[in-house]
Every structure is written in C-alpha cells, then in structure tokens.
C-alpha cells in the first residue's frame, strides 16, 4: 500500500515533533536553565568595554580610599611622636620611589603604528603585517635608553613608571599598571635632553625601530619640552608567583 503525499506528511509530523522534543530536552539539560549563547558572551567588544568600565570604577574607588588613608596618616603623625618619626624617615624615599609629582625639562618620544595608507601599501607589497605595528621590544628599547641617558622620572601613556612597572604588550596594545592602552604610545621623561637623545641614537633597538619607521611608515618622534609627571597612584607591594601547595 502506497501512502498519498498528504497521508505521508501527516505520518511525518509526529516524528518531527518527537525529534524536536528530544533536541529541546538536550539543550535544557546542557544549559541547566541558562542561555546557551547569552548576548554578553557573543559580543567581545561589549565584554571588553564593560570590563574597562568596571576597572575605571574600581580605580576611582581606590583613589578615594587612598585619599582617606593619606589624610588619616597625616592626622596620626600630628598626634603620635613615633608615627611622626617614621613619616619623617620615609619622606626622603617618596621621590625616588615615584610617589611624588614632578615637573621639569625633558623629552617626549611618541611611537605609533603605520597609518592606513602606509599599511595598505606595505601589505600590497607583501610586507609582514607584524612589521607595521609597535612591539613590546620597541617600547622597552626607548624606555631603557631614556633611563640610561639620565631620566629622573618617566610616564608611558600618562602612567607613572616606577621600579616595579613592567612594559608588556598583547598584540598592539600595552598593559601597564593594570590598564590597557592603544597606540600611539607617548613616553615622557624628565632629565637632560641632550644626554637622553644621545642614548636614543646609540640604542640598537631604537635604531631598528627608526629604520622600520622609515621603511614602513611607522611613527617615531622625539621632542624636547617641559614634562610633568604625576605621582604613582598604584600599589607598591611587590607581587610575585608562589609555589602551589
């Protein structure tokens, strides 16, 4: 006996519903009552933006608490001789530790990725895209040369650099003091301009970046000017890895 088309469709409907039911049951079991593809996890840009907003909020909260601690510390020093003596002993160390704002003559060095037109031309010529962006080694070469040239204080992207600061890059973004920065990267240093400029000129790493800037259109400028650097506002507690137990 051969089923007519309408009869065949009626026979298939229960089978389709049964398969769909099994699919819904499996999804419910896997998700455990949650969305398998929530919007917050499918849009990486929104996720990063939200995380940055939380970080900024926590930074503002931390700054407020730090001001309260500073005020309480000053008040304690006025009424307790032992505390006052310890504060006087620690005061000369605040400057070398980067905990005071400074202003003076120095240099501003700016490193930037290749512009859109230069990048398009280089890509069309078969240039490796990695040659068109600022790398961690480029920033480190500039920072090390400035210190070697007598820099007294420094900022990168407006963030004060101290002894425990680490220049780390992920892709073409900079991670510094717990924040993320995109190019152009502005390095400002207080110190003897001529000596720091000479140190930049003699640095092999800086020379390589200058050559790349000439070949591929990356940005590199050095400007003698007055520089203002803020006090370091982050934690000064040294963090290091611990052995798992």
Tell me what pLDDT residue 36 has. Answer: 40
42 pLDDT more than 50: no
In a domain, 234, yes or no: no
Tell me what pLDDT residue 226 has. Answer: 96
Are residues 86 and 112 both part of a single domain?
no
Question: How far is 181 from 110, CA to CA, in rounded Å?
Answer: 13
Are residues 199 and 162 both part of a single domain?
yes
Of 157, 115, 135, 149, residue with least CA distance to 209 = 135
Are residues 32 and 121 both part of a single domain?
no
In a domain, 237, yes or no: no
Are residues 70 and 160 both part of a single domain?
no
In a domain, 147, yes or no: yes
Torsion sign (Cα): 74, 79, 82, 88: positive
Question: How far is 130 from 142, CA to CA, in rounded Å?
Answer: 19
Q: Using one digit for the tens of pLDDT, what is the confidence trace for 154-180?
A: 999 999 998 888 888 877 788 887 788
In a domain, 244, yes or no: no
Are residues 173 and 57 both part of a single domain?
no
How many structural domains is the chain composed of?
3
The domain containing residue 83 runs over which residues? 49-94
Are residues 114 and 220 both part of a single domain?
yes
Are residues 85 and 143 both part of a single domain?
no
Are residues 125 and 166 both part of a single domain?
yes
Torsion sign (Cα): 38, 39, 44, 47: negative
112 pLDDT more than 70: yes
Compute and round to an integer the Cα radius of gyration of the chain.
29
* Top-confidence residue, 121 or 78: 121
Are residues 199 and 106 both part of a single domain?
yes
Are residues 88 and 122 both part of a single domain?
no
């Amino acid at each position: 006996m051969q089923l007519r088309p309408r009869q065949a469709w009626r026979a298939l409907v229960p089978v389709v519903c049964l398969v769909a039911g099994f699919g819904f049951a499996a999804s419910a079991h896997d998700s455990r009552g949650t969305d398998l593809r929530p919007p917050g996890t499918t849009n990486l840009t929104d996720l990063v933006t939200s995380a940055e907003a939380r970080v900024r909020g926590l930074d503002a909260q931390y700054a407020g608490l730090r001001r309260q601690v500073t005020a309480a510390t000053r008040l304690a020093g006025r009424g307790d001789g032992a505390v006052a003596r310890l504060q006087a002993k620690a005061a000369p160390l605040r400057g070398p530790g980067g905990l005071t704002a400074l202003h003076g003559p120095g240099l501003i060095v700016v490193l930037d990725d290749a512009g859109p037109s230069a990048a398009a031309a280089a890509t069309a010529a078969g240039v490796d895209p990695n040659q068109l962006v600022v790398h961690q080694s480029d920033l480190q070469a500039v920072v090390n040369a400035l210190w070697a040239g007598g820099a007294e204080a420094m900022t990168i992207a407006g963030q004060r650099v101290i002894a425990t600061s680490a220049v780390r890059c992920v892709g073409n973004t900079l991670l510094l003091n717990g924040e993320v920065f995109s190019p152009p990267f502005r390095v400002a240093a207080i110190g003897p301009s001529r000596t720091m400029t000479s140190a930049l000129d003699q640095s092999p790493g800086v020379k390589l970046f200058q050559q790349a800037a000439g070949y591929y259109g990356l940005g590199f400028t050095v400007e003698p000017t007055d520089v203002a650097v803020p006090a370091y506002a982050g934690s000064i507690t040294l963090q290091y890895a611990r052995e798992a137990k």
